[in-house]
Amino acid sequence: MTTNNLPQEEASCPAENILKQLSGKWKPQIFRLALDGPVRFNSLLRQLPGSNKQSVATALKELEEADILVKTVVQEKPLHIEYTLSEKGQAMVSVFRSMEGLLG
């Protein structure tokens, strides 16, 4: 069964959707941190100065809904939650990298 992953609102332009999914005050930074490996809620909160629980929680939820991050419960010592790049998220990496090449 292929699930229908359409976000609530679809723009006419695909690029516009991607931009929307990555835009916001914290999403690009969270995405960038996720490039280096799984990220976690409290850790992000500490790594993003000026951020707050609400904003980070919202950003994570939206990145998950956009199928950019995948949320996993890790059954380990101090039982925790990890967010990792989805396949789509990984496909975005090259786009992200080429943006980094565009100087400012």
Partner DNA sequence: GTTGGTAGTCATGTTTTTTTGACTAATTGA
Partner DNA sequence: TCAATTAGTCAAAAAAACATGACTACCAAC
Q: What residues numbered 55-94 form the site for its own copies, per CB under 8 A?
A: 88, 91-92, 94
Task: Work out whether the CA dihedral 4, 20, 42, 97 comes out positive or negative.
Answer: positive
> How many other C-beta atoms lie within 10 A of the C-beta of residue 39?
23
Q: Which of residues 14-73 bind DNA (CB under 7 A)?
A: 24-26, 40-43, 50-55, 57-58, 60-61, 71
DSSP3 helix / strand / coil % (the chain, rounded to 5): 50, 10, 40
Q: Please tell me whether residue 18 binds its own copies under the rule CB under 8 A.
A: yes
Residues at the contact surface with its own copies, assessed by CB under 8 A: 5-7, 10-20, 22-23, 28-29, 32, 88, 91-92, 94-104
